[in-house]
Structures are given as C-alpha cells and as structure tokens.
Structure 1
Amino acid sequence: MTSVLYGARLQLDENMERMQEGTMMRKVKSKNWKKQRYFMLKEDCMTIWYKSKMSGKAKSAFSVSDVETVREGHQSEVLQSLAEEFPDECCFTVVFHGRRSNLDLIAGSAEEAQCWIQGLRRLVEIVTNMDQREKIDQWICDWFLKADKDKDGRMNFKEVQHLLRMMNVAMNEDHAFRLFQMADKSESGTLEGEEFVLFYKALTQRDEVLEIFQQYSEDSKKLTLLEFVDFLQQEQMEVDGTDELAMELIDRFEPSETAKARHVLSIDGFLMYLYSPDGSIFNPEHRKVFQDMSQPLCHYFISSSHNTYLMEDQLRGQSSVEGYIRALKRGCRCLEVDCWDGSNGEPIVYHGHTFTSKIPFREVVTTLEKYAFRASDYPVILSIENHCSIEQQDIMVQQLKGILGEQLLTTTIDGRVPVQLPSPEELKGKIILKGKRIGYLEDSLNGQPDEVPEQEDMEEEEEEEGPEAEEEALRNEDKRKEKKAKQSLSKELSDCIVYCKSVPFCSFQHSRSHYKPYEMSSFTESKARKLIREAGNDFVRHTAWQLARIFPSGLRTDSSNYNPKPMWNVGCQMVALNFQTAGAEMDLYDGLFSQNGRCGYVLKPSFMRDTETNFSPENPQGIGDRNPLTLIIKVISGQQLPKMPNSKEGSIVDPLVRVEIHGVPGDSAKQETKYIDNNGFNPQWGESFQFQVWVPELALLRFVVEDYDMASRNDFVGQYTLPLTSVKLGYRHIHLLSKDGTGIPPASLFVHIHIRETSSETN
C-alpha cells in the first residue's frame, strides 16, 4: 500500500530501515524515572510505536505529524539533570506540537541516537513539505493501515465496515457493499492498493463541490481557463490579476498533466484548490507581516503571557523553561518572570509561596537568548516581578547582561529622552525589561545624580496641579510605594528599565497629567473590567499613548483564563493569559495573533491610536459616519470530523456548528446549525446565518464544532478562530484545530462567506 501511494517520493534511507528494525532506548521522565522501552518505526513510515521491555504488552504510539522538532543532546531540564550520568551524544528530545509533553530519550550509543535523530528529522521534513495530493495519499494510507486488521495488505468487507465506524460513518450496509463491489475491480472479494484508493474516493465524493463546479463548467467535466476566471471573480471575489492567478492555480493543483497543458481544471484539481491554503478562509496575504511596523509600541496589540514559566496550575504545577520556549515559538512577545532569592545565592523563578517547582533565573535568560527571535524579529518584553534582595537583583543584572549581551536594551535607542515610545521596527532584535525604576529616565540621560529625591519633584508638581483631596491621597500612597521601591531596588536593575517603567495607576487624568509615555501600569482583570464599564472612552484614549498590561485574578489557582476581548476593545496592548491552559479564551488569542505573520504584534485600528478619539466599545458610532457590515455565512458541510477521545466503541458523532462573532458588545453574537445524526464523515447542513457588524476591525470570527448530546453537555470536536478582517470571501474550507490549537487534518468545514455594506436607508 505504501509504495502505491508514495511512489518514489519516500525513499527509505539507512536510518529509517534501522528504525523499522527497532531499538531499545531509555525513556526518561525525571532524574529517578528512567525506563527501557523498545521503539520501532512502523511500515507506514509515519507511526512510531513503543512498548515496555518487561511485559511487552503496554504499547504506545505517536505520529510523525505530531512531531514539531528533535533536539539533540542535553536540551531539556530532565536530560540536563542527567548530564553527568549519560553523555550528551546519546541523548535527544522529541518535541511535539501543542501542549503535549516532550519525550526525552537516551540511546545505547551515539550511533543509535544519530540514527533516530536524523531519521525523525527527515520524516518530519517530508511531512512538512507534503503537497495537497501527497497529504490526501497519506490519509488514505493511514486509514488502510488502521483497518487492515490481519495485516495482509488487503481488506475484506468486514474490515471495510469496521473502517467506516472508525471514520465516523454510519452508512447503510447495502450502500457500503455497492461501493465495495464497485471498487473491487479484480472481483477477489478484497480491496488492495489502487482498489482501496478508488473506494476511498467514492466514499469521499463531494456532491456539494461537484454542484458548484458544474454551475461554471459548460460540459460538466472541466473548467476552461475563462470559466475558472469567472468562478474566481464572481464567487471568490478575486479582482486583481485573475487570469494570472487562475493559470497559477491550475498549474499547482491540476493532477492531470494533459489538462494542465491545456490550461483546464478537472473536478479533482478544483477540489484540491478548494482544500488548499489558497482555498482556505484565512487570507494568505496575512500569513506574512503586512502591517505598518513603524508606529509607537502602544499602537499595537502585543501577544502576552502570564506566569510563562508554569506548565500546569499555579499552586502545585511544574515550572519549566519549556513554558518560555513554547510561548516564544507561538510568537509571544511579552513574557512574565517571577524572581525570588535562591538558597545558593542565585535568583530563582517560581510562583512564590506555592508548591510549584523552581528553576534558576540563569536558565530562563539562557532560553531567552536562544529562542527569543526564532518566530519573530520584533522586540520581546520581559515583565519582571521582582521579589529579590538587592544582592540577588545585582546577580540578575549580571546574568542578563552577560548572557543577552547586545540583545538587552539598557538605554534609549538614540540616547535622547523619548517623547513617544519607539516602534517594533526600531526595536527589532531587542529584549526590553519591564519593572520598577528609581527616578526618571530624563535624570540618567541628562547625567543628573541619583541622589535627586524624586519625591520632592512629585510634590512640587502636585502643588502646581492643585489636585482634589481624594486624588492627593492616592498620590501620597504612590509616593510611599515609590519610596519603598527606591529602598529595595537595585540601582543596576533600575538602570536597565528604559521603555517599560512600572507605575501605579490612580486615574486616567492622573496618568495624563503626571506620567510619561515610557511609563506603564498593570491592571487585574477585575479592575480593568470596572474601568471599561465606567470610563470606556477614557481607557481607549489612555492606551493610545501609554502601554497597559492586564493579568488574571490571583483567585485563578487552576490557571484558567478570562475573556481577553473586552480589554482589546479598549486598546489594552498586553492582555496576559495563561498560555498553558487550552480553551475558548486561548482560541480567541490565537485567532487575533494568527495575522501579521504571527509576529506577536497586531496594529490597532486608527480610531484606537488617537488620544482624542471619541470611540468607546459601548458606543461604536463615536468613530464617525459608518454603516454596519452584513456578514452572511452559509455552513455547507463537514469533512472527516474526528471521533471524541474515550468515545464508546462504534459510537459516531452527531455534529453541529456554532458560528460566533466576538467583537464590541453590540456586535457579539452566536448562531448554530441543527445537529446531524450519526455522521461525522460528511455531514451536510446547508444553513445560512446573518450577522450585523459595526466594528469589523475589532471582530473575531469563531467556528465551533460540537458533538450534540441530549442528556449532557455537548463535547468539543474542533474550532477555528480568525480576525474578520482576515476572512476571504466565497467558497472556503475551514481547517479545524483541536482544543490544543493544533491541526487535526483532514477535519474541515466547507462554507460560503459573503459580506455587504448595509446602506444607511436600511438602518
């Protein structure tokens, strides 16, 4: 079967052949948990299978498509802890996509380790570079191997019935047998090789796509170049260079060389196009950095993580540099580090006064140096929650400067006092510290001595302003805190705080009167919500000139997340979430930052970058004369939706689709389809929904698929979230993501999207 599908594409090299023979290696979970396991590459070249040496019964497996990368040597905390016991050249780490734990392995020799390192890397490269045709071939191969119970390379009808249940298909037995007989060209009573491919294609025939194809095809067999151009212009709303685009798409997706030479598209090529990234709902132009990156930092939403070091909950969870690696690889640009005095004289990172494990601050900085700019060149902000003594703060600075070198920003980019924040473009490749600072930036830049008491300056300003009694009390409290900070803050660390000086928040008026653009305040989620309710427009104006960071309530001991959308609606830049916790909140997060090349910076709409703006989320009409958009979404069908983990043998999903708009309060809405009984393979809904959207610039569109359950809560099947401004119109596939945010191919939805301007007469 494999050779039929791969042809010459996958040549087994020596490493893969040895991997298929199998190797005994140590699987390591901690310094004391090291167990022998027998690892083997299965005949499909896509599955790694392993079992315990002792019993030989307990088996586990993972797919090559689950693997993100392979790290060589002592590149995990566990393997580093065993560095004296096992040589570097025998160790490696398999890193998986999403939140799945890494797999640390120790081979018996350097040669065996290299065999698996090089072999796995080659397989990951092959999977990553597969084109659409090869991916489909791979899925067919996967299903065949799963269903071929007796491993004889052919499938009888009983095995086919079992396969249909695995694929989420509740098909009439007579119909299934007719498809089976149609594919059994050799009349042997079994399907093998190309016969199974034929069966799979009959099974996955897309009547709804064929219908669209035939609307534009004169002979119902092919689309000529002109017919395809008509489809692209009329349905997909492609307007620029459509002739060239049509030629290019035919060249890339038409499987028949004859048809390609004639510049025509077959139904197979048409389906391949629709299922590819070009036919996806997400605008491919937004997969790269396309926004203006030369505006002040405060004009961007910035991908921000809370308790970045935690892998689980914040009471007993594991602290790990892996949290930083994962966040950085996702494009996160603001990381949090809680620093405490370590018993050996060096600072440590953990969630203070809890049972979470501890990691040396030095390891966090080393990780930052290595991974900070792999996913994005734009600046990283390190939010330091400082609980250290002055002595250990000085050690923090030594480690930061010694390890990060030129990457660490320690003065303004031009040596001058900033009148506004610099841009992401100007700060490329820089790591910026956020924290408390003694005195003003102006003092150090102008060579003023540190002895100048900041408190006296503040008092003079306050007398000039003539504040009201309540605000004066708040300011006195500020001064008390500032004085305390001055006593307990290392001068060396203070001098490293440049563009993100932490200051307490009193009121928006106080900030505007007393604070500088390089100063910023942090808010708990509840404080932010209160301010949004009471002074939404003031909040928007505030974030047009100064950074604001929002963080979860301390009561969220399970590391759950709050809804970030209300904070983005008032322009808050650093809305920090617990990246380690999957759920709808992180779906929205990933959706917002999926645009602009996933660089971690998203330019705010123009009406949120003006300090005199009239915009407020509760009153979106304040941004001038505009009419709402009407968004019409037709949910047509679903393809190969996954079974639920731990579902009963033979059970099949009853899927429904919910379409959600997450925007300003007046735009937020949701509607859902009916559920389809017993069909996760090719459910057909054909239902249309209409939404009115006043502020599309702030709207996120989310599709959720659930398994309907009459007796209890519906089970989550998959979702996809993206900015409304990144949506492509026309017939589009939505490639669903798991709860973890990773792909679950080939699961998808097929939809039609139409947006029209609503005229003022209709309002």
Structure 2
Amino acid sequence: MSKQTYRVCFCFRRRFHVAASEAPDAVKSMFDQYSENGTMTVDHLHRFLIEVQKEDKASKEDAQAIIDSLRELKHLNIFHRRGLNLEAFFKYLFGDINPPLSPTPVVHHDMTAPVSHYFIYTGHNSYLTGNQLNSDCSDVPIIRALQKGVRVIELDIWPNSKKDNVDVLHGGTMTAPVELIKCLRSIKEYAFVASEYPVVITLEDHLTPDLQAKVAEMVTQTLGEILFTPGSECLKEFPSPESLKRRIIISTKPPKEYLEAKEEKEKENDSQRGKGSADEEAWGKEVPNLKSLNNSACDKDDFDGGVDNDEEDSDDKSQHNEAPEYRKLIAIHAGKPKGGLKECLKVDPDKVRRLSLSEQQLENAVGTYGNDIVRFTQRNLLRIYPKGIRVDSSNYNPLIGWSHGAQMVAFNMQGYGRSLWLMHGMFRANGGCGYVKKPNFLLQTGPHNEVFDPKVKLPAKKTLKVTVYMGEGWYYDFPHTHFDAYSPPDFYARVGIAGVPADTVMKKTKTLEDNWIPSWNEEFEFPLSVPELALLRIEVHEYDMSEKDDFGGQTCLPVSELKQGIRAVPLHDHKGERYKSVKLLMRFEFI
C-alpha cells in the first residue's frame, strides 16, 4: 500500500468516528439541581417528575419503577447505591420510557357522542398499491391501513370483465383489479387489530341491480353479525363510536338517488354544452391535462365522472330497478342533493347523511360557504378527497377540512410526504384509536347562529415553548456515506406548527457541521390561538451545498397531547415508519 493511499484511508476512518452521546449542559444543570453529591435518589427523581416533567400524579413508586427499569441495563455502570448518577439520568431522559406522548395508548376522549362529532382516520382508494393510473389493486394496502388504525376504507366496485361478478379497481384507468370478496374478507380479518372502534366502508358504486344484489349477499355472508344495519331507512342521528364498537358500516349513495343525480347532471351538461357546465362552475372541478398522463386509458369523462369525483353516478340507467337487499345494507347515506352547494349544505333536522367534496371543491367553497360547512358538519358527515390530478397518489393540506369540521379527510395512505405526516400526527391522539373528538367550538352555535371561523385571527390562548437540545441515532440507522461520502453530516432541525392559518409557522436551528450527534440547544416559542387543532411538526435535514438537502427524519405530534418536560422524540422516515435509533432530546413547556 502506498503512503498516499494509507493517508486517505486513515483520514476516512478518523472523520467517520462517532463519539458517545454526552448529556447537554441543560441536562447537567438539571441533574445538579435535583441531586445531591452526584446522586439522584428516588425522592429527587420524584420531585423532578412533578416540577419539570409536569407529571402531577407521579408517585414515588413511579420514580422507583424508572430506576428499576434502568437497573436492567446491567452492562452500564450508571448507578450509585442509592440512586442514579448523571449518565443514568441522561439514559432515562433519552430512552424509550420517556416519550412525548403517553407511552401506553389509552382512549381518553368521550366516545359516546354521535359519530359526526369526531375526526375519523380516512383512506382514499384504499385498494391501490401505488399511483392512480396503472398500479395494482390489492387487499394488501387495505390490510396495512387497518393495521395502522385507519377507520374508513374506500372501495370502487365495478362489474368484472364477464359482467358476472364484482371487482375493485380505479375505473377508466389501467389499474389491475382485485376481487371484492377478497377485500371484504381482509377487512373482516383486520378491522379491529389496531382499534375496536367502527370501520366504515365507503363504496363508489358502478353496478347494475343484479350485481348490487350479489354484493348484498356477499357482504351479508362475509361480515355476518359485525355488519351494522340501521332499523330505519334513514338515521335521524348518527350512533356513537362506543355503541358501534367492533362493527362495520356501509356508506354509499342509495341506488335511486344515484340514478336521479346522474340524470340531472346529464341534463345540465346538455344545456351547458360548449360553455362550461353549471356543475363544474358550482363545484370547482379540476380535470387533469390528459396529454400529460402517459399511457392513460381514460378520457375527460372518466375524470369528470366516476373516476375521481367520489360517488358520482354510473352510466347504468337500469338502476331504476334497484336491489332492495343492497339498499338495506347502507347505514350512512351519501349523495349530493339537487340545487348546488348551498342546497347540499342544508341541515335536515329529521335525518343525517354524508356529503363528499374534492379538496378543490372545498377550497373554492370555504370563502363563501365556510360557516355553512361548519354548521353542516355539526350533525352530518363531510368527506374530502384528493382532486383528480393527483395521479401520483399525493395528498393535500388536511387542516382546511378539519378546521371546518370535516370528519372524513380522505388520504392516499400508500403515498408519503408532509401532508401525510400531518395525518399520522392527528391520529396519534386519543390512543391511536382512529377517532379524535372534535373541539367543542366546532360543535357549538352562538346566540346569533355564528360558528367557528378559522380565518378569523384570535388572541393566543397559550404559548408552546420548544427547546431542541440534541439528536442521535443516524450513525446506526443510516449507511455511513449516506449523507456525505467523506465527512460526517451537517444537520439542522426544523420545528413548527400546522394549524389554523394564524398559528401555522416553521422555524429552524443553525446547521452544525461534521457531527453525527448534533447538539443545537435552541429555543422556539409558538403562540397558539387554536391549540386544539395544532400539530407540532419536527423535521431534521442534512445541509447540502450543491444539491437538495438530505432528509434525516420527521415526526408530527398533536399539541393537545404533548407531555411537558424533557422528552425523547423518536423520528420516522418518509413513509412514517419509525427509525430504530434516530431521536431528538427536546423540552416542551406551555407558558
């Protein structure tokens, strides 16, 4: 080996050496404050839990349990006879036993209110494995969604190629179908592995009456007693999630209304031909540039009709002869009444229903009809779904829907990105059961019939102070040349709030060069006018001078459930899967 080669290898190994993580100065200072002669006793730790971690109900037994759990790490010499030394205290703070949310998922919201009083973890085109045009349809993404706690599964049902059975596929595209019966069996098997609370199946129906009858038989035989069927034609009020535990609910447009809406739409299109239909104007439809959709087996009518406009109507006129068995299965009636958006948002005191709008339709509507939308969602269900041009299975800002009371903000769960991270964050709340109780202000009407308006800037209710101390774990979870071939990474953190417009902001730390264990020690304050809808966003990136900065992890946490104090915050990858080692040490305070 030449001298020059030897030097390169020596330098390479030296520069990638990673030191053991050391407690930051703030932690050392805290230890000094809550210890005596270098030892933190049970009494000291108990006082720390109450005063710093804000665990008012913590007992000395809880403090002892923490010490006992650390004693199991026998390979570490981190104890004095009477308690913890600094290294042990640091191990506790940065350990899995000290998370930012409750370590044992517990459903703690009132679950006895009508279903319309909850945000519900909702999927869109739940059967797709990838993009919206030519990916496979399968029960696998349905299973994965249910395992993560998703409570609303969408199935688009079509006649199979022989017209004698029912497939699930994205109509008008080249997606490969999967049999409906396979999806139903998987839903039954996995519906309640992550949560006992009800699963809703929303159907986009493109079937003839004989196949609707076949679906009714299939659903009844497969789901059996766990299928919820209402005793009356229409529900006057939705049941509660508590009363519907371990039940599966069908929601779609009843056959008769399905046909009538289709005929009405055709009349409008005929009368408006050549100058843009009134329907498009009222709903703000967005049709993709089909020239840009390579190898697409669809035309404009596919996107303007059954493909991406949810329960838009099928072309089958034979639905005059509706299947009564099929109608009886529908517990949550969907549909868009005639007369435009104003009519659709009218609240009927004698029955409840579900309305679906695309993200673009919602954005167009909130300026004029924002208050009507909030009033509608106090009793009825509103489902928002991605606009048709999101052929890559990307998503949109869910806060627009949530801040107007929309319960079913439907997402492509097989995608990834910041919007989906927000969805994951919202449904980490309430024990991850898939149902999050809406704030009271979204359920109340004032003396002058006024309702919550997310666009109105309100005074801050509280201020969240966030301290980013340090991070570790990248050296173990990433290849050592992942960020830079010749030197350690240059990490910075981004911290911010997603919420109503007045609260939404992102801030960042300084960039620390050449360090696998960055120690930022920076504080940020976030005044929150609507903390009930706020999500704390946390990201880590590696600065790259010549290219796009590298991704180093993310998480999103509901502010309403943050545990105060110094906490170990595990980070996740692009798709939301938790890294084995990567985490941040942070402090959260409400001031």
TM category (shorter chain) comes to: 0.7 to 0.9
2:556 to 717, 721, 731: 721
Q: Does 1:252 align with 2:69?
A: yes
1:618 to 455, 479, 493: 455
What is the match of residue 553 of structure 1? 387
Q: CA deviation at 1:513?
A: 5.0
1:223 to 40, 49, 59: 40
Residues in 2 aligned to 1:481 and 1:205: alpha-carbon distance in whole angstroms: 62
The structure, 1 or 2, with the larger RCO (C-alpha pairs under 8 Å, 6+ apart) is: 2
2:250 and 2:331 in contact (8 A); partners too: yes
Helix, strand or coil at the partner of 2:213: helix
Residues in 1 aligned to 2:451 and 2:433: alpha-carbon distance in whole angstroms: 29
Judging changes above 3 Å, is the alpha-carbon distance between structure 1 residues 318 and 706 closer, same or farther for their aligned structure 2 residues? same
Q: Does 1:676 align with 2:512?
A: yes
Helix, strand or coil at the partner of 2:334: strand
What is the match of residue 252 of structure 2? 435
Q: Does 1:293 align with 2:119?
A: no
Helix, strand or coil at the partner of 1:502: coil
Q: CA deviation at 1:504?
A: 3.9
Q: In the TM superposition, what whole-angstrom CA distance separates every residue of 1:415-443 from its partner, at most 9, and x where no partner exists?
A: 69643110011111111111112579xxx
- The residue correspondences of 1:71-470 to structure 2 (distance < 5 A) are 169=18, 203-208=20-25, 209-219=27-37, 221-255=38-72, 264-284=83-103, 287-344=105-162, 345-412=164-231, 418-437=235-254
Helix, strand or coil at the partner of 1:284: coil
Q: CA deviation at 1:165?
A: 5.7
Q: Which letter does structure 2 place at the counterpart of 1:332?
A: V
2:236 and 2:349 in contact (8 A); partners too: no
Q: Which letter does structure 2 place at the counterpart of 1:363?
A: K
Q: TM-score, normalised by structure 1?
A: 0.64
1:254 and 1:270 in contact (8 A); partners too: no
Q: Does 1:707 align with 2:526?
A: no
2:463 to 630, 650, 655: 630
Judging changes above 3 Å, is the alpha-carbon distance between structure 1 residues 683 and 556 closer, same or farther for their aligned structure 2 residues? same
Q: Does 1:499 align with 2:332?
A: yes
What is the match of residue 413 of structure 2? 579
Q: Which letter does structure 1 place at the counterpart of 2:51?
A: Q
Residues in 1 aligned to 2:88 and 2:115: alpha-carbon distance in whole angstroms: 45
Q: CA deviation at 1:711?
A: 2.6
Helix, strand or coil at the partner of 1:653: coil
Q: Which letter does structure 2 place at the counterpart of 1:236?
A: Q
Q: Which letter does structure 2 place at the counterpart of 1:674?
A: K
Residues in 2 aligned to 1:164 and 1:530: alpha-carbon distance in whole angstroms: 58
Residues in 1 aligned to 2:349 and 2:384: alpha-carbon distance in whole angstroms: 18
Judging changes above 3 Å, is the alpha-carbon distance between structure 1 residues 255 and 340 closer, same or farther for their aligned structure 2 residues? closer
Helix, strand or coil at the partner of 1:690: strand
Q: In the TM superposition, what whole-angstrom CA distance separates every residue of 1:605-636 from its partner, at most 9, and x where no partner exists?
A: 11112255531101264xxxx75211111111
1:730 and 1:753 in contact (8 A); partners too: yes
Q: Which letter does structure 2 place at the counterpart of 1:212?
A: M
Q: CA deviation at 1:280?
A: 1.7
Tell me which moved more, 702-711 or 275-284.
275-284
Q: CA deviation at 1:256?
A: 8.0
Residues in 2 aligned to 1:748 and 1:495: alpha-carbon distance in whole angstroms: 50
Residues in 2 aligned to 1:698 and 1:744: alpha-carbon distance in whole angstroms: 27
Helix, strand or coil at the partner of 1:223: coil
Judging changes above 3 Å, is the alpha-carbon distance between structure 1 residues 164 and 386 closer, same or farther for their aligned structure 2 residues? farther
Q: CA deviation at 1:501?
A: 3.3
1:512 to 340, 343, 346: 346
Q: CA deviation at 1:387?
A: 0.9
Between the two proteins, the alignment pairs up a number of residues equal to 524
Judging changes above 3 Å, is the alpha-carbon distance between structure 1 residues 607 and 375 closer, same or farther for their aligned structure 2 residues? same
- The residue correspondences of 1:626-705 to structure 2 (distance < 5 A) are 627-641=460-474, 642-643=477-478, 647=483, 649-679=485-515, 681-705=516-540
1:301 and 1:568 in contact (8 A); partners too: yes
Instruction: Specify the structure having the higher radius of gyration (Cα).
Output: 1
Helix, strand or coil at the partner of 2:453: coil
Judging changes above 3 Å, is the alpha-carbon distance between structure 1 residues 320 and 166 closer, same or farther for their aligned structure 2 residues? farther
Helix, strand or coil at the partner of 1:276: coil
Residues in 2 aligned to 1:545 and 1:247: alpha-carbon distance in whole angstroms: 48
Residues in 1 aligned to 2:470 and 2:573: alpha-carbon distance in whole angstroms: 18
What is the match of residue 195 of structure 1? none
Q: CA deviation at 1:553?
A: 0.5
1:733 and 1:749 in contact (8 A); partners too: yes
Residues in 2 aligned to 1:592 and 1:260: alpha-carbon distance in whole angstroms: 39
2:127 and 2:139 in contact (8 A); partners too: yes
Helix, strand or coil at the partner of 2:251: strand
1:309 and 1:323 in contact (8 A); partners too: yes
Q: Tell me, which stretches of 5 or more residues in structure 2 are unaligned?
A: 1-6, 258-262, 264-277, 283-311
Judging changes above 3 Å, is the alpha-carbon distance between structure 1 residues 525 and 374 closer, same or farther for their aligned structure 2 residues? same
Q: In the TM superposition, what whole-angstrom CA distance separates every residue of 1:327-353 from its partner, at most 9, and x where no partner exists?
A: 110111111101110124110111111
1:638 and 1:684 in contact (8 A); partners too: yes
Q: CA deviation at 1:658?
A: 0.5
Residues in 2 aligned to 1:554 and 1:665: alpha-carbon distance in whole angstroms: 25
Helix, strand or coil at the partner of 1:317: coil
From the two aligned structures, give the one with the greater helix fraction: 1
What is the match of residue 65 of structure 1? none
2:79 and 2:85 in contact (8 A); partners too: no
1:247 and 1:263 in contact (8 A); partners too: no
Q: Does 1:732 align with 2:550?
A: no
Judging changes above 3 Å, is the alpha-carbon distance between structure 1 residues 703 and 727 closer, same or farther for their aligned structure 2 residues? same
Residues in 1 aligned to 2:14 and 2:224: alpha-carbon distance in whole angstroms: 59
Q: Which letter does structure 2 place at the counterpart of 1:677?
A: E
Q: CA deviation at 1:486?
A: 5.2
1:517 and 1:545 in contact (8 A); partners too: no
Q: Which letter does structure 2 place at the counterpart of 1:318?
A: D
1:410 and 1:498 in contact (8 A); partners too: yes
Helix, strand or coil at the partner of 2:215: helix
Helix, strand or coil at the partner of 2:221: helix
Q: CA deviation at 1:274?
A: 1.1
Residues in 1 aligned to 2:507 and 2:202: alpha-carbon distance in whole angstroms: 39
Residues in 2 aligned to 1:543 and 1:561: alpha-carbon distance in whole angstroms: 22
Q: CA deviation at 1:204?
A: 2.7
Residues in 1 aligned to 2:428 and 2:180: alpha-carbon distance in whole angstroms: 30
Residues in 2 aligned to 1:418 and 1:313: alpha-carbon distance in whole angstroms: 36
Residues in 2 aligned to 1:259 and 1:705: alpha-carbon distance in whole angstroms: 30
Q: Does 1:604 align with 2:438?
A: yes
Residues in 1 aligned to 2:158 and 2:570: alpha-carbon distance in whole angstroms: 44
Q: CA deviation at 1:537?
A: 2.6
Residues in 2 aligned to 1:712 and 1:256: alpha-carbon distance in whole angstroms: 42
Judging changes above 3 Å, is the alpha-carbon distance between structure 1 residues 159 and 481 closer, same or farther for their aligned structure 2 residues? closer
Residues in 2 aligned to 1:707 and 1:638: alpha-carbon distance in whole angstroms: 13
Residues in 2 aligned to 1:223 and 1:410: alpha-carbon distance in whole angstroms: 59
What is the match of residue 299 of structure 2? none
1:311 and 1:318 in contact (8 A); partners too: yes
Q: Which letter does structure 1 place at the counterpart of 2:473?
A: Q
Q: CA deviation at 1:248?
A: 2.4
Residues in 2 aligned to 1:353 and 1:164: alpha-carbon distance in whole angstroms: 58
Q: CA deviation at 1:549?
A: 0.3
Helix, strand or coil at the partner of 1:728: coil
